[in-house]
Amino acid sequence: MEIATEVAVPAQAVPLAADAFVNTLRQQSERYHDKHPFHVLMNKGRLNRRQIQIWVANRFYYQQSIPIKDAAIISNCPHPAIRRRWLQRLIDHDGAAEGQGGIETWLRLAEAVGLNRQEVLVGQHVLPGVRFAVDANVNFARTRPWIEAVSATLTELFAPDLMKERIAAFERYYTWVDAAGLTYFRSRLSQAPRDAAFAIELVKQYCTTRAQQDRAVAALAFKCDVLWSVLDAIQHASLEQG
């Protein structure tokens, strides 16, 4: 009788090849919030002014959290070169100076749809469900390994297509919104692909075991759930208004 010289490795423990791993991550697009009924209605021009305002005011709470989440990733990451590159995300949202950055341009969108800037800034209109989901996302970045938090940002793989569709919808159906208010969406057309490209290279480099790859996919699924939950809360509130 021959004695086996190799130990069989369970199939699920074998790391995916890089292309297969990336493809598995991209498959999470099926969970992305562009398919949420609220977004479908928005892109068909079916929302009224008040419903758009509810979305803008509540989505700002998420926008406001982005640099806080990214700062948490930086604080957990032990690699200076990665921290330096990730810092660009904070600048994109906080701006290099007062009056710049994505948070500022979202506030201009709020003004363009008729909201009070200060009320939006202090979260006066934020729904409990939105606050819970967004805070969970920030807490994930603070408490999970940095590469899992990086994996969660890969929703940016799917963002450019959504932004293009959103811009087209606003220009076609919501002409009462000043075009200057769409600046944030236009900026993400170039920022999101850049950020996603760097993040996916990191995930491929640092998720080398099957367990790490599975956790990366789970992190991205979690982020999709966060974005979906935000829209669930917004849709529930907005239907009462429309």
Report the C-alpha gap between 221 and 69 in whole angstroms.
Answer: 17
The pTM of this model reads: 0.93
- Give the confidence band of 6 by pLDDT, cuts at 50, 70, 90: very low
Task: Please give the structure tokens belonging to residue 10.
Answer: 């369970």
- pLDDT tens digit sequence for 24-83: 999 999 999 999 999 999 999 999 999 999 999 999 999 999 999 999 999 999 999 999
Confidence of residue 7 (pLDDT cuts 50, 70, 90): very low
Domain 12-241 coded CATH 1.20.910.10: yes
Give the pLDDT confidence score for residue 178 in this predicted structure: 94
Closest CA to 60 of 155, 131, 166: 131
CA distance 57 to 63: 10
Structure tokens at 217: 């996919």
Dig out the tokens for 103 from the structure. 């948070």
